[in-house]
Chains A and B, each alone.
Chain A
Amino acid sequence: MSESDRDDGVSRRRVLECMTWAGTGVLWTISGGVPHALGIMGEAQAQQAAQQTKSLTFLQLSDSHVGFDKPANPNALGTLEEAVAKVNALPQKPAFAIHTGDISHLSLESQFDDADRVISQTRLDVHYVPGEHDFLDPDQKFYRERYGRGSKGAGWYSFDANGVHFVGLVNVVDLKAGGLGNLGNDQLEWLQDDVKHLSASTPIVLFAHIPLWTVYPDWGWGTQDGAQALSYLKRFGSVTVLNGHIHQVMQKVEGNVTFHTARSTAFPQPAPDTAPSPGPMKVPDDQLRTMLGITDVTFKQNEQRLAIIDSPLKT
């Protein structure tokens, strides 16, 4: 996972240049097995894609950081409300949503309350995985109490929709000094067992907060044992990995696996190696909403592609 990923800096950078600053939503179309990013689309294109697929469309929200109020975005709750308005205006209502973590900024009950109040306005069933910002309360219990019902361990689980197998993973607990995101042995064993009965033609969607692939280890953007998790999925024709954490769109296709990260609804972060640290990036006010957004994903039966549309709050 590490060396080959790190060596393809040129193509990754090009992907970044092409994608990071462009759109706001990702439309995922799952068709047959190999997830495919249609790229950044305008709303007319998104509508067209949605009409063409007539199958499973779901939404990805990420990194709401409710409670964040620093210069990079003094009102993260406000931009989450804008994202929800955008969701509610989608031409095709998604079947459900996933949220790839950092719901809150500091794991305060009031922040989770605010997030729930706003996100519930989508009237979508939301499948959450936690970010590291969701486990900051002293007892690390608020996330699990609210979102962890029926999950295993720190909150991992799987479910099926339209023949697609979805797996929500937790890679933000028990982090080790000097390390990256961490799944841990219990979760890895569970994952191996969870997918072993599935036929190889079952499309798989893995979602977790921190990228499962090594994006930029100097900033901790990767998962220590992510490659181990992916090794259990080698026999599947279509694996899509959806992450957040890095507050920018990034995509990579490697064999049968498509990796994609979504924008935050709260604040942008710099592209790897373009700033002294990965901290919140202050951009001119009129650019902020072009760097925040939502993602939707459409799965089309009997096709090999997932269509991913990243839609910014503002183009």
Chain B
Amino acid sequence: MTLSSTARSACLAAALGAVSTLGLAAAALPGFAQSAPAAGAVSIDNFTFTPQTLTVRAGTTVTWTNKDDIPHGIAATGNGFTRSKALDTDDSYSFTFTTPGTYKYFCYIHPHMVGTIVVEAATGSNATP
């Protein structure tokens, strides 16, 4: 009983995994099929967001990592996404973008630092890397 229950759980997990993998594959253009679950990275170095503009597909989790010796903070221009807490050296902040659009943001501690996240429809024909 116990065994079979465990086995069922394992099957279920595998099935779920398969479904979500399929979902991803279906959503992605062929070129994206090999890439990891949607993730994007922005590095903060020398008071600069790199890349300055990051283009991702809807559903992508973007992670900012502060590599400076001074804290930075991420805030959308307007209310496009949730503001981060202050990120000390090596701290990260992640946000999952589900809605296509252009999200401009800046460092709320050093507002001359600006960047853009472009979120494209997950199944759109205009999705480009």
* A, B co-complexed: yes
Residues of chain A having any CB pair with chain B under 8 Å: 70-72, 105-107, 132-133, 136, 138, 175-180, 217-220, 276-280
Residues from 61 to 96 in B contacting A, C-beta threshold 8 Å:
68-71, 73, 75, 77, 85-86, 88-89
| Residue of A177, A217, A280 with highest tally of chain B CB at under 10 A | A177
Residues from 44 to 75 in B contacting A, C-beta threshold 8 Å:
46-48, 68-71, 73, 75
Are A70 and B77 neighbours in the complex by a CB distance under 8 Å?
no
Q: Tell whether B109 is near chain A: CB-to-CB under 8 Å.
A: yes
| Residue of A107, A178, A280 with highest tally of chain B CB at under 10 A | A178
Are A136 and B89 neighbours in the complex by a CB distance under 8 Å?
no
B77 nearest CB neighbor, chain A only = A177
The binding surface of chain A is classed by DSSP as: loop
> Which listed residue, A70, A180, A276, A279, touches B112 by the CB 8 Å rule?
A180
Q: List 18 A-B contacts (CB under 8 A).
A: A70-B69, A132-B109, A136-B73, A136-B85, A175-B108, A175-B109, A177-B75, A177-B105, A177-B111, A178-B106, A178-B112, A179-B112, A220-B111, A220-B112, A276-B46, A279-B46, A279-B68, A279-B69
Are A106 and B111 neighbours in the complex by a CB distance under 8 Å?
no
Are B71 and A217 neighbours in the complex by a CB distance under 8 Å?
no
Instruction: Report chain A residues within 8 Å CB of B77.
Output: 177
Min CB–CB distance B46 → chain A (angstroms): 4
Give the number of chain B interface residues (Cβ < 8 Å): 24
Are B68 and A218 neighbours in the complex by a CB distance under 8 Å?
no
> Which listed residue, A138, A176, A277, touches B48 by the CB 8 Å rule?
A277
A275 nearest CB neighbor, chain B only = B46
Are A136 and B104 neighbours in the complex by a CB distance under 8 Å?
no
Are B112 and A106 neighbours in the complex by a CB distance under 8 Å?
no
Are A138 and B85 neighbours in the complex by a CB distance under 8 Å?
yes
Are B86 and A219 neighbours in the complex by a CB distance under 8 Å?
no
Are B114 and A177 neighbours in the complex by a CB distance under 8 Å?
yes
Q: Tell whether B8 is near chain A: CB-to-CB under 8 Å.
A: no
Instruction: Report chain B residues within 8 Å CB of A132.
Output: 109-110
Q: Report, nearest first, the 10 A-B pairs whose CB atoms are least far apart.
A: A177-B106, A220-B112, A277-B46, A136-B86, A277-B47, A70-B69, A175-B111, A177-B77, A276-B46, A280-B69
Are B47 and A106 neighbours in the complex by a CB distance under 8 Å?
no
- A132 to B112 alpha-carbon distance, docked (Å): 13
- A71 to B109 alpha-carbon distance, docked (Å): 21
- A105 to B87 alpha-carbon distance, docked (Å): 11
Min CB–CB distance B39 → chain A (angstroms): 25
> Which listed residue, A70, A177, A278, touches B89 by the CB 8 Å rule?
A70
Supposing A177-B105, A277-B48 touch, asked if A220 and B110 sit within 8 A by C-beta, the answer is yes
Min CB–CB distance A143 → chain B (angstroms): 13
Instruction: Report chain A residues within 8 Å CB of B111.
Output: 175-180, 220
- A138 to B47 alpha-carbon distance, docked (Å): 22
Instruction: Report chain B residues within 8 Å CB of A217.
Output: 112
- A136 to B105 alpha-carbon distance, docked (Å): 18
B86 nearest CB neighbor, chain A only = A136
Instruction: Report chain B residues within 8 Å CB of A219.
Output: 47, 112
B70 nearest CB neighbor, chain A only = A279
Instruction: Report chain A residues within 8 Å CB of B70.
Output: 279-280
Instruction: Report chain B residues within 8 Å CB of A133.
Output: 71, 109
Instruction: Report chain A residues within 8 Å CB of B104.
Output: 177
- A178 to B52 alpha-carbon distance, docked (Å): 13
Min CB–CB distance B76 → chain A (angstroms): 9
Instruction: Report chain A residues within 8 Å CB of B113.
Output: 220
- A217 to B113 alpha-carbon distance, docked (Å): 11
Min CB–CB distance B6 → chain A (angstroms): 42
- A105 to B104 alpha-carbon distance, docked (Å): 27
